[in-house]
Amino acid sequence: MQVLRGGAFVVLTTMVGCDALKPMQQNQPKSPTTPSNPQNGNQNQGNVGSTRPTSKPLDTVQWASDPRSKPPITSNTRTPTPNNTPTTNEVIVPDPTPNNVPTSYESRPAANPKSNYKISIVLPFYTNEMSDATPLPSKSEFALEFYAGVRLALDSLSQGYDNNFEVNVFDNRNTDFNSLLQKYEVRNSDLLIGPIERDLITPAIQFSNERNVPVFSPYFPSGDLEGANPRFVQLKPSLKVHCEALARHAKSKNQGANFVLVANGESESSRFRFFQESNKDIKFREWVISDVATANPETFAQANKNTVFIVPSWNESFVAEVLKKLDASPNRKNFVVYGMPQWLDFSRGLNEVFTRLQVRVSSSVYVNTDFDRVKEFRQRFFSKYGKFPNSDAFLGYDVVMASTQLLKKYGSNFSYYLDKEQGWDLLHTRLNFARVNRGGASNDNFRQVMKMENQFVHILRFNGYGFKPDN
């Protein structure tokens, strides 16, 4: 692998066998058939260690300190959150709408496939904080896992594609992001994958509009974006999409039940609108709790009728108290609970309560380790790195495999054709893209499109051992 002083490593599909990552070989299981951790929805089987880049720095620009350890940024307070956490945050991108955005579906840019493509990947690696003599910074682990999945995808492409893909990987924590966007390799890209930080989305979209380059966002699950951004492709569904998926599933599985939305105070009750606005046929009752100790679920219980509590909260202490209150109710057998993806990472002390209350959650990630192609990926990953992949590695693999297939089929204008790609199964999710228009407009004017969003959400049910799909 070639390491450039400019801060990128270049990977060509013809360069098979190059190794930018050193697998962690100590204390690793001898075989991928003997995992140490059970599958649990958002987690993958196996002993997930860390990968380490070469000791050569990718860049020499001074780092900006950052205490975060996991993406994405979902609040103005920069609180670390799980990597499938939805958000309602708005990202401001200046208007006016660029002139190069078409006004109608019929006038969208023609597909322009070609034989050679340049892809830039931007992630926070924190490489100048790494050395062979120091522990790997925890805040860089997800980026390295993602990159390990990318490398495995490139290995696959080198064997099965006629196209050539030149991939430049940049560390945006070693370089000012706006300066990075001016690098020759980036400015001449056919696709930009990343960044993942909220405050970098605005310049990324401005770059996209200026250069007619699609931006594939692997982590950031934005709510609303300002301006027209049909080249901005969002893999993670927003909070609105999660809520709508929970409501649809709850109604389909619990016909005739009472439906109750539960919030931790008035601030969380603002999330109720995503349920109420998308479900005109049913009026959800609303339960805003200011003091769990005095909360009485019997108010919503009816004899011989299920009551479905939907709790769009990721405050673990609040959720735990509410669930224990429901679990202690004499009407518990008629209670069903729906929750958010963050519940996948809650304490295992809630497992029995999850089982009794038939808890279901939404998630943008689920890796079924019973599938042959997942088993094959895990075997290949273990053979290459001496460790098992986590969800970030699956994500890196899927993003590259999906985006390169889209480039091959449509060229760099692929974002305008994503609504044709429905039901496309990846290793960790499915692709069901939709145009998300400003103000909920339903017309075909691309100048109203604020993003192209994957709107597939898994609904998982706790079965006593872990979360499994609830079809």
Domains 2-237+370-457 and 239-363 share a fold: yes
Query: Any residues with CB less than 8 A from the CB of 50 and at least 6 apart, and which?
Result: 24, 136, 141, 144, 145
Answer yes or no: CATH 3.40.50.460 is held by domain 239-363. Answer: no
As a whole number, the mean pLDDT across the chain is: 77
Residue extents of the structural domains in the chain? 2-237+370-457, 239-363
Q: pLDDT digits over 112-170, tens only?
A: 889 899 999 999 998 878 777 777 778 888 899 999 999 999 998 887 667 789 999 99
Cα(97)–Cα(99) distance, rounded to whole angstroms?
6
pLDDT for residue 14 is more than 80: no
Over range 164-192, report the average pLDDT: 91
Q: Secondary structure of the chain: what % helix, strand, coil (to 5)?
A: 35, 20, 45
Over range 389-415, report the average pLDDT: 93
Burial 49-58 (b: 16+ CB within 10 A, else e): bbbbbbeebb
- For residue 221, CA distances in Å to 5, 135, 183, 238 come to 32, 30, 27, 5
User: Parallel, antiparallel, or unpaired: how do β-strands 52-53 and 116-123 relate?
Assistant: unpaired
pLDDT for residue 22 is more than 60: no
Q: pLDDT digits over 419-450, tens only?
A: 887 778 999 999 999 888 876 666 677 777 88
The fold adopted by the segment(s) 2-237+370-457 is Rossmann fold (3.40.50)
Phi first, then psi: give them for residue 153, nearest 5 degrees: -65, -40
Place of tokens 């872990």: 466
The answer to which of 48-62, 208-222, 291-305 has the lowest mean pLDDT is 48-62
pLDDT for residue 199 is more than 80: yes
Preceding omega of 35 cis (within 30 degrees of 0): no
Over range 32-50, report the average pLDDT: 30
pLDDT for residue 52 is more than 60: no
Cα(327)–Cα(323) distance, rounded to whole angstroms?
6
Q: Count Cα atoms within 13 angstroms, Cβ side, for 107.
A: 10
Q: Which of 69-83, 223-237, 368-382 has the highest mean pLDDT?
A: 368-382
pLDDT of residue 281: 81
- Provide DSSP, 260-309: EEEEEHHHHHTTHHHHHHH-TTS--EEEEES-GGG--GGGG-BTTB-EEE
pLDDT of residue 435: 87
What angle, 0 to 180 degrees and rounded to 10, lies between the N-to-C axes of helices 141-160 and 391-410? 40
- Provide DSSP, 99-110: TTS-SSSTTSPP
Whether the pTM exceeds 0.75: the reply is: yes
Cα(292)–Cα(391) distance, rounded to whole angstroms?
34
Task: Calculate what percentage of the chain has a pLDDT beyond 90.
Answer: 47
pLDDT of residue 358: 92
Helix (H, G, I), strand (E, B) or coil at 342: helix
Residue 330's region, left for phi above 0, alpha for psi from -120 to 50, else beta, is alpha
User: Parallel, antiparallel, or unpaired: how do β-strands 215-217 and 8-12 relate?
Assistant: unpaired
Residue 463 one-letter amino acid = N
CA angle 9/413/424 to nearest 5° reads 85
Burial 172-191 (b: 16+ CB within 10 A, else e): bbbbebeebbebebbeebbb
pLDDT of residue 440: 64
Cα(229)–Cα(208) distance, rounded to whole angstroms?
8
Give the CA-trace dihedral at 103, 104, 105, 106, to 10 degrees.
-110
Over range 225-249, report the average pLDDT: 89
What angle, 0 to 180 degrees and rounded to 10, lies between the N-to-C axes of helices 391-410 and 372-385? 110
Q: Count Cα atoms within 13 angstroms, Cβ side, for 255.
A: 1
pLDDT of residue 381: 95
Number of H helices, E strands in the chain: 11, 19
Distance of CA 365 to the CA centre of its chain: 7
pLDDT for residue 341 is more than 80: yes
Phi first, then psi: give them for residue 91, nearest 5 degrees: -105, 125
Phi first, then psi: give them for residue 228, nearest 5 degrees: -95, 125
Preceding omega of 195 cis (within 30 degrees of 0): yes
